[in-house]
Amino acid sequence: MHYEKFADGSVKCIEDEIPFEVPEGWAWCHYSDIIELYSGQDLTSDRYNDIGDGIPYITGASNLEHGKVIINRWTTTPTTHATIDDLLLTVKGSGVGKMAFCNIDDAHIARQIMALRCTTAITPQYLHIAISAMLSDITAQANGIIPGIRRKIVLGAYLPLPPISEQNKICEIADSSLHIIDAIDNDKDELKNIIQTAKSKILDLAIHGKLVPQNPDDEPASTLLDHIRAEKEELIKQGKIKRNKKESIIFKGDDNSYYLRTESKAVKITNELPYEIPESWKWARIRDVFQVNPRNKLEDLLEVSFIPMPLIDDGFSGKHTSEVRVWEKVKSGFTHFMEGDIGIAKITPCFENRKSVVFRNLKNGYGAGTTELHILRPYASAILPEYVLAYVKSSMFIGKGKQEFTGAVGQQRIGKDYVENSYFPIPPLAEQIRIVEQIHIAYKQLDLISNALLWQTAALI
């Protein structure tokens, strides 16, 4: 039986906590017994630079790529947290679990990173192998709006510790095997990047009107705008929404230029529009064709879906899972949404990682969740949510949004103004349907290729 003895002399049986039996001569221990752990600290933008002046500043998962440290910021602050052979572990954000050895004498690390420093009881290479083998158990305990791992989770994790001589032998064998695996992984990563690029390109073609052909028999997008205005007027009469005093209409003038007309004036905006669209399409500002961040009024005891950020997939899938909560428990302090709404993560790195979603199969049709979302609610079934999802996941929308970030490093966000004022291209409804169908077909084929590669890699390993 395995027991743990504490500093106060008490003893606890931990047989049920030990993951597996280890050979004679090995011992189970906590990470706190054999490493020193250094937590990072975020710096404000006035304390770092990108001109190579000062101490390297490792800000997050984006600096740890393929087991290497990439430096793009420096600081003149005297505080340092990491040094050569420290194992850097990403403990916050969508990159939780990414690791790399520090190859710098002195480096400052942000709070998204922890530095694991070995004592004489363990070699850095074996530490990397051990934590890699059990990393999923550690990262599964990440929690919070932005997933994070606390110090005590890392320090309290169990680690199987062999003698130093055996650690060295394990590392030698692992190193020769990992060369083969790395070669396979490099090929896999290259193809995955190609597939991700292809998916992004498909979305760009879709919102430019180049993914499917236009059909002159389709009801034009101008008709959809009429339906939207009619529904808005009805909702205003019912007192469900307020009239927007900043409402605008985009139209094409006799000079073939685009104009934005408000109650007071019309302004030429041709140079503001990101690209040309087909004749049957229309431009509109998002604030004019969606409800942005609406609120729900529901019975307190109604069961609804609850969706924190970790339950929203990143990438291109647009999927989510959910928990069930009673409305009175989540109606305050959380974002509201309903079936068919589109959610857009507004905080970095979730925004860049495309944590955007169409909410489907919600309990009783409604939900609440993370405050780090902007919500778009379409009017009059005139715009397909899945087409909107293609737009907000597009490289254009993501790229422009990154230029509009506000806030401190690690906590930057896109504001409501960026979303509301974005120019949104509206195809005829029939074309929206064709676009969404074509995206689904193309993505299905790309996913088949990706899954086949994963199966092949697993078989080789």
> How does pLDDT run across 238-287, given as a tens digit for each residue?
999 998 888 899 999 999 999 999 888 899 999 999 999 999 999 999 99
Q: Which CATH architecture has domain 199-244+288-453?
A: Alpha-Beta Complex (3.90)
**For each successive 10 residues of the chain (461 residues), what is the average pLDDT?**
86 89 92 94 89 91 87 86 94 89 93 95 95 89 85 93 95 78 69 89 96 95 94 92 89 93 90 95 96 96 96 94 96 97 95 96 97 94 96 96 86 93 97 97 88 60 48
> How does pLDDT run across 202-249, given as a tens digit for each residue?
999 999 999 999 999 999 999 999 999 999 999 999 999 998 888 899
Residue 456: predicted pLDDT: 56
pTM of the model: 0.64
What string of H, E and C letters represents the secondary structure of 206-257? HHHCCCCCCCCCCCCHHHHHHHHHHHHHHHHHCCCCCCCCCCCEEEECCCCC
CA distance 97 to 138: 8
What residue ranges of the chain are covered by domains with CATH 3.90.220.20?
A: 3-162, 199-244+288-453
Q: Which two tokens stand for residue 362?
A: 């919600």
Residue 110: predicted pLDDT: 92
Which stretches within 278-415 are classed as H helix?
286-289, 327-330, 385-392, 395-403
Fold of 3-162: Adenine-n6-DNA-methyltransferase TaqI; Chain A, domain 2 (3.90.220)
